[in-house]
């Protein structure tokens, strides 16, 4: 088990980091670092002898947070920002069709199952819509809206 990064390497976190009960002074589930944030590797350790854990200092948040290797990418690797993330509730902006058949009506509620970040095409999502149990659709970001209105600002 060799670490991918070394101390003082710059990295980007690819998903939101929330307190799992181990961050001092934070509430369980509290957002610690937003996906896309960048930081500097400060220490490298292991957890349960089979997972590498990087202590990353995130500049903008002024926080040192433990991250697993799969939560990080190198600062020079392509990053595609996304509006939504795993498990968020969304609705379709317009009807979704296959051929001439409308499978999902405009405004139908769904849940993000996976975020697909394609540097050429932008963000898309695997979405499960309640109106079609058991089926997933790959939907471009432009075709989705938040299920509940986003707060201003």
pTM above 0.75, yes or no: no
Environment class of 92 (CB within 10 Å of its CB; exposed 0-12, middle 13-18, buried 19+)? buried
Rounded to an integer, the average pLDDT of 45-50 is 80
- DSSP state letters, 20-50: -S-STT--TT-EEE-TT-EEEEEEEEEETTT
- Give residue 151's pLDDT: 58
**How sure is the predictor about 141, in pLDDT bands with cuts at 50, 70 and 90?**
very high
Q: Which of 10-14, 49-53, 69-73, 145-149 has the highest mean pLDDT?
A: 10-14
* Cα dihedral 138/139/140/144 (nearest 10): -150
Residue 152's pLDDT is: 57
**Domains recognised in the chain with CATH numbers:** 10-74 (2.30.30), 89-146 (2.30.30)
Can you give the pLDDT at residue 65? 92
């Amino acid at each position: 088990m060799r670490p991918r990064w070394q101390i003082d390497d710059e990295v980007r976190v690819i998903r939101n980091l929330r307190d799992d009960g181990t961050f001092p002074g934070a509430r369980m589930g509290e957002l610690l670092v937003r996906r896309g944030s960048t930081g500097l590797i400060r220490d490298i350790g292991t957890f349960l002898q089979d997972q590498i854990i990087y202590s990353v200092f995130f500049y903008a948040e002024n926080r040192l947070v433990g991250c697993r290797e799969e939560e990080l990418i190198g600062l020079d690797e392509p990053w595609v920002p996304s509006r939504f993330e795993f498990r968020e509730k969304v609705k379709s902006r317009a009807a979704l069709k296959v051929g001439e058949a409308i499978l999902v009506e405009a405004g139908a509620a769904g849940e993000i199952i996976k975020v697909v970040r394609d540097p050429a095409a932008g963000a898309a999502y695997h979405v499960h819509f309640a109106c079609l149990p058991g089926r997933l659709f790959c939907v471009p970001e432009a075709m989705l809206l938040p299920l509940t209105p986003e707060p201003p600002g």
